Chain A
Amino acid sequence: MTQLTPVLSAHWDEKDSFTIAGYKRHGGYDAAAKALKMEPDAVIQLVKDSGLRGRGGAGFPTGMKWGFIPQGDNKDHYLVVNADESEPGTCKDMPLLLANPHVLIEGCIIASYAIRAKYAFIYIRGEVTHVVRRVQQAIDDAYAAGHLGKNIFGSGVDLELVLHVGAGAYICGEETALLDSLEGFRGQPRLRPPFPAIAGLYARPTVVNNVESIASVPAIIAHGAEWFSSMGTEKSKGMTLYSLSGHVTNPGQFEAPLGITLRELLEISGGVRAGHQLKFWTPGGSSTPIFTSAHLDTPLDYEGVSAAGSMLGTKALQIFDETTCIVRAVLRWTEFYKHESCGKCTPCREGTWWLVQILRDLESGKGSEADLEKLLDLCDNIMGRSFCALGDGATSPITSSINYFREEYIAHLTHGGCPLDPHAATVFASAKAGV
């Protein structure tokens, strides 16, 4: 049985965990001070050696990303932290920042030093006022403590850190859309190449990393690459935050080595809500093809999930039991993609518009089985045809759900609507049942 490994979350249970004093009580900012005494390239090497991979979904090796930044090019470099956490089901970065914003700031200091950036930005989604407050306060306190600004830690290194608050656009989680948004444009994805490492923010070399990735860096500096890589699996090293939500007895955050299984997490946490059975789940948010109970033992690391036909994504484990209508769930996600499509490319803009109409008909029992083939064919025309991954993501719930639950789609047609009671799926239903 895999054990939980609280590192990032180790001190979240202390009331003042988010303050600079609370953070320093457990050695906060010591790693930054240590890193600033190393050569920047040595810091990059250490992160490479740790095997840390991006926690935002794609799993790209963090140290390698840093290594792509050209050195000695006499250009400004930038670090941009992607805190635009908006993928449905994903809820790890916001509680992390609420409970401990300083670990991100310390990570920013180390990463900026490594890539020779004198300016760093945290792009946070705008719909989380109190998290914004906490991060802003933490930045202010870090400046006051001399950890940000000129000559930080007396090292001669300068770093400005700016919190940039978004305004409601899922697409800004896509790194090039995020950069356009940060530059003051509509958040629409950019052509790649050039990649951000060569021409990112203001067309300068830029690293864009997820909150959890950067927040993992101080511990790696403090405890070493070997410590980190001793956790996890062969190609997916370290600990990470798994977020369990939905029809479970105890939803919440679980910090565990990569490779833990859903079966283990359910056992640790208390299982699917009492009296019900697992029907389907997402391994990493709504853009990752859904899994069923057949995938309970799939190792939740980059390779394991991928081999089983989905993606690790953000490790957003949304659990749905047998009371949940698959068509309703998929329609709602599809409406989300339609709402969040930036509009730049045809397949995503027009395709999601069309998909929603077909799914609405299907949910209300209109249409025919041929519509399922049309849906699949449309998905084929969107997947890999759209400008960025948002369009691809929009197809994941549809294709995977038809794969596993074609019968249920058809049942809507024969039943003349949804055969399930939506109320039965609510938390109130289970509460009333006295469970």
Chain B
Amino acid sequence: MAFTDKDLQVMDSIINRYPRKRSAIMPLLHYAQSRDGFITSDGIETIAKKLDLETAEVSAVATFYTQYKRKPVGEYHVGVCTNTLCAVMGGDEIFAGLKDHLGIENDGVTADGKVSLEHIECNAACDFAPVVMANWEFYDNQTVQSAKDLVDSMRAGKPKAPTRGPDVLQNWKETSAVLAGINDGHANEGVQAGAPTLLGLNISKKGARG
């Protein structure tokens, strides 16, 4: 499906954020992904044209970053942190459990297209280990069972809400638009901080009171 005039206008507004237009390549790739679900040749060619680049220059960038997908992912893309700390704390078991539960391997997608699975690197939430991300929203302190429940809820069409995130989990394309810098109005939803984030502050306050 070709990019519509409206799509092209959004792309122009993204380009206009920057002093030099080539800088817009990453948000434009996120944007193309929000349209097509992954980086299509249509996306690459449209971005190349917009930025006066050769297509090879755009695909060189697209293939460098792991968030740009070369093939369709699920409506909900689930990442299990298996970097050392999360892996040790249970991430490996969660990942194995999900593979088994969903019947797919790393980078696989369920047949219904609802869930895809990827083992991911450290996602800056180590004090909430083991961590699962879905469409790059935080699902903190997971267990094998909670993770299975999560993907089940996705396949049932009613995904559980993130621990620290919007009230409703947005789908993959909607998420990609947020990463392209398009404000979806959900910023004020969810907690301001999880309990571990506040631990030091609370101890300090208790100490001051005591």
**Residues of A near any B CB (own CB < 8 A):** 3-6, 9-10, 12-19, 76, 85-91, 93-95, 98-99, 119, 125-130, 132-134, 136-138, 140, 162-170, 181-187, 202, 242-247, 250-256, 268-269, 286, 316, 318, 320, 324, 328-329, 332-333, 336, 339-340, 342, 422-423, 425-428
Q: How many angstroms between the C-alpha atoms of A296 and B93 in the bound complex? A: 30
Flag B179-210 by CB within 8 Å of A: 1 or 0 each.
11101101110111111111111111101000
Which residues of the other chain, B, contact A243 by a CB distance below 8 angstroms?
126-127
A93 with B200: CB separation less than 8 A: no
- Residues in B with CB closer than 8 Å to A95 are 125, 193-194, 197
Q: What's the least CB distance linking B144 to chain A, in Å?
A: 7
Quick one: which of A6, A127, A166, A316 has the most chain B CB within 10 A?
A127
Contact among A13, A126, A165, A169 with B202 in the assembled complex (CB-CB below 8 Å): A13
Give complex CA distance A401, B79 in Å: 28
Known: A136-B187, A138-B187, A167-B65. 14 other contacts (CB 8 A): A4-B200, A6-B201, A9-B200, A91-B124, A129-B179, A168-B66, A168-B67, A169-B66, A186-B64, A245-B127, A250-B196, A252-B196, A252-B197, A425-B89
Please tell me the size bucket of the interface on B: 35 or more
A184 contacts B22, CB within 8 Å? yes
Contact check, B127 vs A253: say whether CB atoms are below 8 A apart.
yes
- Pair A133/B201 contact, Cβ less than 8 Å: no
* Cβ of B6 under 8 Å from chain A: no
Per the bound structure, the CA–CA distance linking A117 and B51 in Å amounts to 25
In the bound complex, how far is the Cα of B191 from the Cα of A98, in angstroms? 9
By a CB distance below 8 angstroms, the chain A residues around B196 are: 250-253
Residue of B68, B88, B92, B130 with most chain A CB atoms under a 10 A cut-off: B88
Decide yes or no whether B137 CB sits under 8 A from chain A: yes
Q: Is the CB of A125 within 8 A of B124?
A: yes
B110-134 vs A, CB cutoff 8 Å, 1 = contact: the mask equals 0000000000111111111110010
- Neighbouring A residues of B184 by C-beta, 8 Å: 133
Chain B residues near A5 (CB, 8 Å)? 204
Q: Does B19 contact A (CB under 8 A)?
A: yes
B95 at the interface (CB under 8 A from A): no
A167 to B178, CA, bound (A): 12
Using CB atoms and an 8 Å cutoff, list the residues of chain B in contact with chain A.
17-20, 22-27, 29-30, 51, 60-61, 64-68, 79, 82-85, 87-90, 92-93, 120-130, 133, 135-138, 141, 143-144, 162, 164-166, 170, 175, 178-181, 183-184, 186-188, 190-205, 207
Least CB distance, B15 to chain A, in whole angstroms:
11
Taken together as a complex, chains A and B put the C-alpha atoms of A170 and B65 apart, in Å, by: 9
Cβ-closest chain B residue relative to A18: B192
- Give the distance in Å from the alpha carbon of A427 to the alpha carbon of B19 in the complex: 48
CB A6 to nearest CB in B, in angstroms, measures 5
Q: Do residues B88 and A17 form an inter-chain contact, with CB atoms below 8 A?
A: no
| Interface contact B192-A14, CB-CB below 8 Å | yes
A255 touches B83 (CB 8 A): no
Q: Is the CB of B19 within 8 A of A126?
A: no
Q: In whole angstroms, what is the CA distance A32 to B60 when docked?
A: 40
Can you list 28 A-B contacts with CB-CB less than 8 angstroms, sorted by A residue number? A3-B207, A4-B201, A17-B192, A88-B84, A89-B85, A91-B124, A94-B124, A119-B19, A125-B124, A126-B65, A126-B136, A128-B123, A130-B164, A130-B187, A133-B187, A164-B181, A166-B65, A168-B65, A169-B65, A184-B25, A186-B64, A245-B85, A245-B127, A250-B199, A252-B199, A253-B200, A336-B83, A425-B88
- Is there contact, CB below 8 Å, between A89 and B122? yes
Contact of B127 with A91 in the complex, beta carbons under 8 Å = yes
Minimum CB–CB distance from A435 to chain B (whole Å) comes to 14
Contact present for A332 and B87 (CB under 8 Å): yes
A15, B193: Cα distance in complex, Å: 8
In contact, A246 and B133 (Cβ under 8 angstroms): no
Judge whether A88 and B66 touch: CB under 8 Å.
no
Query: A224: shortest Cβ distance to chain B, in Å?
Result: 22
> Do A12 and B89 have beta carbons less than 8 Å apart?
no
Interfacial chain B residues near A98, Cβ < 8 Å: 164, 192-193, 197
Q: When the two chains form their complex, are residues B164 and A428 in contact, meaning their CB atoms are under 8 A apart?
A: no
Q: Which residues of A contact B135 (CB under 8 A)?
A: 129
CB nearest neighbor in A for B53: A184
Other-chain contact of A255, B85, B175, B200 (Cβ < 8 Å): B200
B27 touches A6 (CB 8 A): no
> For the complex, what is the distance from the CA of A80 to the CA of B84, rounded to whole Å?
30
* Residue pair B85, A428 in contact (C-beta under 8 Å): no
Q: Which among A6, A245, A255 is the interface contact of B126 at CB below 8 angstroms?
A: A245
Residue B193 contacts which of A12, A169, A328 (CB distance < 8 angstroms)?
A12
